[in-house]
A and B are shown apart, each in its own frame.
Chain A
Amino acid sequence: MDIALLGPGCHNCVTLEQRTREAVADLGLAADITKVTDYADIAAYGIMATPGLVIDGEVVMSGRVPTVGEIKELLATHSS
C-alpha cells in the first residue's frame, strides 16, 4: 500500500503524518509513506486545501486532519 501525505509542512501536515503513522502501526500494515511538499505536485492531485491524504493514488481526504480512527477506517476500506 502506498500512502502519500500532501502538505507543505505546516502544523496540520505534521499532525497528519503522526496520526497516519500511528494508524498504520496499529493496523500492522506494510505501507510506504511518502510526503509531497512541493506546491505544484500537491496541486496536481487536484486538491485545493491542505493537508491531503492519498492512498494508492486516490485522494481520500483533504482540507482537514482526520482522526486516527478515521484514518484506520480509510485504510481498512482501501486494503480490503
Chain B
Amino acid sequence: MPTPLPTPTLRQPTPTGVTAARLVLLGVTWAIVFAFNEWVWDAAVSGMSLDPHSRATEAAHYFLYDSAKLLLLLVGMIFAIGLLRSTINPERVRAALEGRPLLLALVLAAILGAVTPFCSCSSIPLFIGFVAAGIPLGVTLTFLIASPLVNEVAVVVLGDTFGWGVTGAYVAAGLILAILAGLLLSRFDLRDQVEAFVFATPISKLHLDGAKPTLADRVKAARIEVRDIVGRVWVWVLIGVGIGAVIHGWVPEAFFVEHAGADNPAAVPIATIVGIPLYSNAAAAIPIGEALYAKGVALGTVFSFMMATVALSLPEAVMLRRVLKPRLLVIFFGIVGVGIMTIGYIFNWVS
C-alpha cells in the first residue's frame, strides 16, 4: 500500500555557535584517538603475549597500526579540506579557466586539478564539458593529469609515510609534469584527433548559485566528502599497507638494493611499466612505494612507480579512447610516461 507523500522535513537550522562547538569537540576526540593509536596496538601485541620480534607479529602490528593511522588521517584531513573547499566544483573550474592566456590557464588547470574533488569515472563528462565549452585541449589534459596525480589523498598518505619534504617534491614534480605535458600538447593542432561528437555536444551552462555557504552547509559538504572519498579509498589503504607490510617483513633488503638501487638505469623504466597494469590510486600505491623505499629502492624509482600506478592505467586509456582518437591517446600516454621516467631519473640523480 502506497504511503502518502511525507512533507520534506525542514529541520531548524543549528546555530553557528553550536556547530562550531561541536567541531571543536570532534577535533579534540579525533586528536585523542590519534594519539592513542600506537599504544592500543602495542598493548594488543603484549596483551596477547605474542613474541613482539617475530616477523608475523611485526608485520601484523605494522599493518594494524599503519592502516588505522592512515584512515584516521584521511578522515581528519578530508573533513578539514572539505570544510574549506565546499564551493569548488568542475563548473566553477571551467568558468575560472575560460578565456585565460595559455600559460596561466595551464598553471591554473594543474592547481585546480589538484584541489578539485574528482573521481576517475567522471573524466569523460568532464573532458567533454571542458573541450565543448572551448577550453583548449592542452589545458583540459593538464587538468586530467594533475587530478589523480596530486590530490589530498596522495598528500596525506605521502606526508605520513615519507615526510613533508618528499611530499613537497612530489607535489611540485606532479604539477610541473601536468603543466609541461599540457604545454607540449598545445604546440600541435590536435583537434582533429578528438572524436567529433565532443565538439557537437551542446553545453548548457548550469546555473551557479552565488549563495555563501553557512558553517552548517560546509560541515554537511565535508561529511559527504569524507563518506565519498574514504568510502572509495579505504580498501586501497588496506591493500597498500598490507602489501607494504609483506615487503617490510619478508623481502630481503639485498634484493632491491641489488636490482633497483640508484645505480641501475633500467630500474626507472621498469618501475614505470610495472606501475601501469597495477591500476589503483594513491592510497594503495604510496604505502607500497614507502616499503620499497625502506628496502633500498632509490627515491626517483619509487616516484616513477607511484606516479605510473596512479596516472597511467589501462582502464583510464579505455575510457579516454571514447573521446580521443588512437593517435592522440598514444601521444598523451607517451608524454606522461616519458615525463614520469624523467622525474624518476632526476630524483635518482639529485638524491
Contacts and interface: CB of A to CB of B under 8 A. Distances in A.
B224 interface: yes
Contacts of B228: 64-65
A30 B4 CA distance: 13
A72 B6 contact: yes
A43 B5 contact: no
Contacts of B124: 8, 39
Nearest to A50: B122
Q: Is the contact region of chain B dominated by helix, strand, or loop, or is it mixed? A: loop
Given A40-B128, A48-B91, A77 B8 contact: yes
Interface residues of B, number: 37
Contacts of B328: none
Nearest to A28: B2
Given A8-B124, A49-B90, A76-B8, A28 B129 contact: no
A43 B119 contact: no
A63 B147 CA distance: 15
A6 B83 CA distance: 27
Contact of B125 (A49, A65, A72): A49
Contacts, number: 85
Interface string A18-37: 00000000111000000000
A23 B92 CA distance: 30
Interface residues of A, number: 30
Interface string B1-26: 11111111100000000000000000
Nearest to B206: A46
A40 B5 contact: no
Contacts of A43: 125, 128-129, 132, 201, 203
A26 B3 CA distance: 7
A35 to B, nearest CB: 15
B52 to A, nearest CB: 40
Contacts of A50: 119, 121-122, 125
A44 B197 CA distance: 11
A42 interface: yes
Interface string A38-80: 0110111111111000000001000111000000110011011
Nearest to A75: B5
A50 B129 CA distance: 12
A12 B121 contact: yes
Contacts of B9: 73
A48 B122 contact: yes
Given A27-B3, A48-B90, A40 B197 contact: yes
B119 A47 contact: no
A8 B108 CA distance: 28
Contacts of B197: 40
A49 B122 contact: yes
B130 A48 contact: yes
A29 B21 CA distance: 41
Given A43-B129, A48-B122, A49-B89, 18 more contacts: A8-B124, A39-B125, A40-B197, A40-B200, A42-B125, A43-B125, A43-B128, A43-B201, A45-B204, A46-B203, A49-B118, A49-B119, A50-B119, A59-B206, A64-B228, A76-B6, A76-B8, A77-B8
Report the 7 A-B pairs with minimum CB-CB distance, sorted nearest first.
A28-B2, A48-B129, A10-B121, A43-B128, A48-B90, A46-B204, A49-B122
20 contacts: A8-B124, A27-B5, A27-B6, A28-B4, A39-B128, A39-B323, A40-B200, A40-B201, A43-B125, A43-B128, A43-B201, A44-B204, A46-B204, A48-B91, A48-B122, A49-B119, A63-B89, A64-B228, A65-B228, A76-B5
Interface of A: 7-8, 10-13, 26-28, 39-40, 42-50, 59, 63-65, 72-73, 76-77, 79-80
